[in-house]
Amino acid sequence: MTLNLGVIGTGAIGRDHIRRCSTTLSGARVAAVSDIDPVQARAAIAPFESEALLFETGEALIASPSVDAVLVTSWGPTHAAFVHAAIAAGKPVFCEKPLATTAADCLSIVKAEAATGKRLVQVGFMRPYDSGYRALRQVLRDNTLGTVLMIHAAHRNPTVGANYTTDMAITDTLIHELDVLRWLIEDDYVSAQVIFPRRSRHARADLRDPQIVLLETAKGIRIDVEIFVNCRYGYDIQCEIVGEEGIARLPEPSAVTLRHQARLGTPILTDWKDRFIAAYDVELQDFIDGVRDGALKGPSAWDGYAAAVAADACVLAQRTGAVEPIVLDRAAAGV
């Protein structure tokens, strides 16, 4: 049976997922859309599904019997309400990050989902679907490295927009590392510290860039993540895992090696959208397959909550300069 998806929010990411479900993925179709701008919603679906239904509100879409599962790709502050509605309707929901804008709201979703006794929520963290990270995780599972002791990571953008602020280095940028590293090592963060190196002259005067975030996990693993969003040279994601027996490094994106003009090397991507483009396909196919199989396996509401709590501590650490604790409320969540 083809899965009937309803998409709430037809901005860039929403349209991208509509295209993906319609032309690339298997087993689903977009049966319904909704947007605060119905003209945009209609334009988004028209090239792909002439018979899709248009709903005035996300709530109406969720309630429709024509919708089996929901994709929430609307404005961030609206996510939590739509996810709650989907949970209430007993329908699986894929929610782009953030799951909610506060850790408390994330926790509320965790609780609501737990109360249903079923797994219904997948959060749109795509890094665990990247083939490089998956290969890295396989190395860890094969125990080639022995026990993990340290991770050295970096998240570098060539440049950022004028409205990018110091805390967005955590909430928009580091958030991906907070999710994927936790998934890699199957461990939880217990503290965070932020160090501000000399500022790049390419950063705006009110932006601290680069930053270094130091994390500690429950098992004592130490993680350093360089965040550098005006690095100029390219979009570059690095991850090196140091274990008792050896070290593994995230693959560089596959590229042609050139010998040209006195240089031996490969191109570096400059547009972040190219870096994980294949991962989005795998991610959404996994959601579709998970719904059809009745067993979602991707990033959960709890994962979304854990990332949110860690991000909050990092933002606090930016301000205090101190080592800030990271505490998950397992009791409240009933997990």
Query: In the range 39-98, which residues lie near its own copies by CB under 8 A?
Result: none
Work out whether 145 is an interface residue with its own copies (CB under 8 A): yes
Six-digit token pair at 189?
């963060």
Work out whether 152 is an interface residue with its own copies (CB under 8 A): yes
User: Which amino acid, 32?
Assistant: A
Among residues 60, 150, 277, 316, which is the contact residue for its own copies, using CB under 8 A?
A: 150
Six-digit token pair at 218?
């429950």
Nearest to 327 by CA among 153, 192, 173, 213: 192
Among residues 236, 283, 286, 312, which is the contact residue for its own copies, using CB under 8 A?
A: 236
Work out whether 322 is an interface residue with its own copies (CB under 8 A): no
CA 88/CA 15 separation, integer angstroms: 26
Question: Considering beta carbons, is residue 31 or 123 the nearer one to its own copies?
Answer: 31
Nearest to 132 by CA among 24, 298, 275, 229: 275
Work out whether 141 is an interface residue with its own copies (CB under 8 A): no
Residue pair 94/18 in contact by the 8 Å Cβ criterion:
no
> 301 vs 45, 93, 118, 332, CA distance in Å?
28, 10, 12, 14
Site string for its own copies, 3-42 (x = CB under 8 A): -------------------xxxxxx---------------
- Report in angstroms how near the CB of residue 187 gets to its own copies at its nearest: 10
Among residues 37, 56, 186, 252, which is the contact residue for its own copies, using CB under 8 A?
A: 252
- Report in angstroms how near the CB of residue 200 gets to its own copies at its nearest: 5
Residue pair 231/158 in contact by the 8 Å Cβ criterion:
yes
Among residues 47, 77, 220, 325, which is the contact residue for its own copies, using CB under 8 A?
A: 220
Residues numbered 270 to 289 that lie near its own copies (CB under 8 A) are 270, 285, 289
What residue spans of 159-241 are helical by DSSP H?
A: 168, 175-185
Q: Phi, psi at residue 184, to the nearest 5°?
A: -60, -50
Q: Phi, psi at residue 157, to the nearest 5°?
A: -110, 150
Residues numbered 99 to 138 that lie near its own copies (CB under 8 A) are 131-132, 135-136
- Report in angstroms how near the CB of residue 38 gets to its own copies at its nearest: 27
Work out whether 188 is an interface residue with its own copies (CB under 8 A): no
> Total residues at the site for its own copies (CB under 8 A)?
73
